[in-house]
Amino acid sequence: MVKKPFQAESKRLLELMINSIYTQKEIFLRELISNASDAIDKIYYRALTDDAVSFEKDRYAIHIAADKEERTLTLSDTGIGMTKEELENNLGTIAKSGSLAFKNETELKDGHDIIGQFGVGFYAAFMVADVVTVVSKTLDGEQAFKWESNGTDGYTIEPVEKEAVGTDIFLKIKENTEDESFDEYLEEYRLKAIIKKYSDFIRYPIKMNVTEQRPKEDSEGEFEEYKEEQIINSMVPIWRKNKSELTNEDYEQFYQDKHYGFDQPLEHIHLSVDGAVRYNAILFIPENIPFDYYSKEFEKGLELYANGVLIMEKCADLLPDYFSFVKGMVDSEDLSLNISREMLQHDRQLKLIAKNIKSKIKSQLQTLMKNDRDKYEKFYQSFGRQLKFGVYSDFGASKDVLQGLLMFYSSTEKKLVTLSEYVSRMGDEQKYIYYATGESNERIEKLPQAELVADKGYEILYFTEDIDEFAIKMLRSYQDKEFKSVSSADLGIETDEETDTKAENDENKELFNQMKSLLVGKVTDVRVSKRLKTHPVCLAADGEVTIEMEKVLQAMPDNQNVKADKVLEINMNHDVFRALKQAAEHDKEKLELYTNLLYNQALLIEGLPLTDPVGFTDDMCRVMV
């Protein structure tokens, strides 16, 4: 028998390919199963035009069997088979794809898409096998042929006996090396897992003899092993099914089967898009935050399938960061894959899909907000923070997408409200959307700074998360209404005393200057307060950096020591003010004592740390005795 060499340069190319295209050896199985599925589909297409051929789906299957002793792995299909010439042309020539040629000649039908296209997948077998033997008999041929190769120096072809139409592929699995184990490709559980992972949605049954246990007859508590042929793959992808045929339980089952999370999905989105790119997708919004969600380890992404075959486990490009909590999969026939089928050739289709998915997720969330507020709030408790990060990041590039999804606790409604709800309640005279920041709603409720705004009957949004104010700064305004902190120097509220403040500040200039010099480096100004009603003092901020922002920035690892320009505001109508005035006239020491006490009180109310707590308590004692 003459050994035929591979076509020119094939040998080198083969080596190169086998060792560099694929990142994981396990995909050889995906490639061989995909070929088998293609071969069966080809019978289906034949039956459409050839009366002599009928296609009874039940007759077709892919069998997989491993023999540990012999170190062989066998794949058998009942597909269309290969003639001698086809064995030679398709397997003997790298980058020659019989399937691509077939696709070009045939009008493909939905549900029977041919997977192959590059003519290299078959060679992946040489990543795990020393020798590959292919025995094949075609639908029309009498004679079967055997093709055999060790992958490096050519192949042989000879006639053999084979009864059934189809193809058997025998892999002589490599011996383990020092740093690589090949035994795993002979292990039932591993083969099952690989099939499930990549080929779960191959249309034809992938059958394997699986070892099971059963109670031994006439014995108590003893078990015996037995072999049972099982279908490993689920075959029909749920995303190809009609939405109307599917129940919530089906989606939940899918969520669990796919290990998207340990929880139940809160919402699912089932998309069948037939536009510029065709794709199906099933997306989930989880009920709970994944345990590693806010850690570095968390990887966003959706599973990406091409024609039901898994291409990528976590395709990050399909999801913007602010929707990184979304789980699920996308299947498309329109992806142009690269040769390893692990990556995409062009990301144009992917970009289109990603854009489409983004807007679908957004509109689903909006619908949820409208129709099931409780559920939306539940979602928001888990992932609202991520939406706010989304508003803030990239200099607000996505704020238009996200602002409608934000919610904050409202002082008047006593629940979470949206920005548009807030604005709809604003009276004509109210210029700003007011907010107050603090550790908790309870704490903000007691903030003296909020008194005037609250007194005016204006609604105040409570910001309790560190990201809140930064996100809002990025928004600047909502429906042309600017945001305003209740602690900002100018509240934009006309009060009766407005005109008097300047006079009062002038009147007390001497006192305020003295206090200012006692608080050098701590506050930039001391002023009469317009916003205080019952409390004696508070801190406000001049300029862009608010006190809450200072707190957040100070807590960051790359603390740049950014400080707010703090202003100590005094309530002139409070008895304390009179005491201050008297002290300023008669007792400088007392003035210093009072000034420090008031400043420290203001810090405490703001939730800022006291620089000298012991000094503060000493001061209190001095007042008491």
Residues within the interface to ligand ADP (CB under 6 A):
31, 35-36, 39, 77, 79-82, 90-91, 97-100, 116-122, 167
Q: Which does 100 bind (CB under 5 to 8 A by kind): Mg ion, ligand ADP, none?
A: ligand ADP
Interatomic CA distance for residues 271 and 279, integer angstroms: 8
Interaction between residue 121 and Mg ion (CB under 5 A): yes
CB of 81 to ligand ADP, least distance (A): 6
CB of 341 to Mg ion, least distance (A): 9
Between 167 and 595, whose beta carbon lies closer to ligand ADP? 167
Q: SS3 for 149?
A: strand
**What secondary structure does DSSP assign to 241-309, as a single string?**
S-GGG--HHHHHHHHHHTTS-SS-EEEEEEEEEESSSEEEEEEEEESS--TTTTSTT----EEEEETTE
Interaction between residue 199 and Mg ion (CB under 5 A): no
| The pair of three-digit structure tokens given for residue 413, joined into one six-digit string | 């409604």
Q: Which does 82 bind (CB under 5 to 8 A by kind): Mg ion, ligand ADP, none?
A: ligand ADP
Between 36 and 518, whose beta carbon lies closer to ligand ADP? 36
- Whole-Å CA distances, 360 to 269, 355, 617: 8, 9, 58
Interaction between residue 116 and Mg ion (CB under 5 A): yes
3-state secondary structure 430-475: CCCEEEEECCCHHHHHCCHHHHHHHHCCCCEEEECCHHHHHHHHHH
Residues 160 and 82: beta-carbon distance below 8 Å: no
Q: Which does 117 bind (CB under 5 to 8 A by kind): Mg ion, ligand ADP, none?
A: ligand ADP
Among the residue ranges 115-123, 207-215, 575-583, 584-592, the one whose residues contact Mg ion (CB under 5 A): 115-123
DSSP state of 4: B
Among the residue ranges 28-36, 236-244, 473-481, 601-609, the one whose residues contact Mg ion (CB under 5 A): 28-36
CB of 360 to ligand ADP, least distance (A): 32
CB of 390 to Mg ion, least distance (A): 41
Interaction between residue 332 and Mg ion (CB under 5 A): no
Cα dihedral 236/239/245/249 (nearest 10): 100
CB of 3 to ligand ADP, least distance (A): 20
Residues 203 and 308: beta-carbon distance below 8 Å: yes
Among the residue ranges 46-54, 111-119, 201-209, 611-619, the one whose residues contact Mg ion (CB under 5 A): 111-119
Interaction between residue 308 and Mg ion (CB under 5 A): no
User: Which residue sits closest to Mg ion, CB atoms considered?
Assistant: 121
Interaction between residue 205 and Mg ion (CB under 5 A): no
What b-and-e string marks burial along 511-541, b requiring 16 or more CB atoms within 10 Å of the CB?
bbebbbebbeebbbbbbbbbbbeebbbbbbb
CB of 31 to Mg ion, least distance (A): 5
Residues 148 and 133: beta-carbon distance below 8 Å: yes
Between 338 and 495, whose beta carbon lies closer to ligand ADP? 338
Interaction between residue 35 and Mg ion (CB under 5 A): yes
Interaction between residue 79 and Mg ion (CB under 5 A): no
Between 53 and 339, whose beta carbon lies closer to Mg ion? 339
CA angle 422, 425, 429 (to 5 degrees): 110
Q: Is the dihedral of CA 333, 335, 337, 343 positive or negative?
A: negative
CB of 226 to ligand ADP, least distance (A): 30
Look at residues 246, 397, 258 and name the one whose alpha carbon lies nearest to residue 330: 258
CB of 94 to ligand ADP, least distance (A): 8
CA angle 83, 89, 93 (to 5 degrees): 145
CB of 34 to Mg ion, least distance (A): 5
Q: Please state the length of the chain.
A: 625
Interaction between residue 261 and Mg ion (CB under 5 A): no
Interatomic CA distance for residues 385 and 324, integer angstroms: 12
Interaction between residue 98 and Mg ion (CB under 5 A): no
Among the residue ranges 35-43, 310-318, 394-402, 485-493, the one whose residues contact Mg ion (CB under 5 A): 35-43
Q: Which chain residues interact with Mg ion by CB under 5 A? A: 35, 116, 121
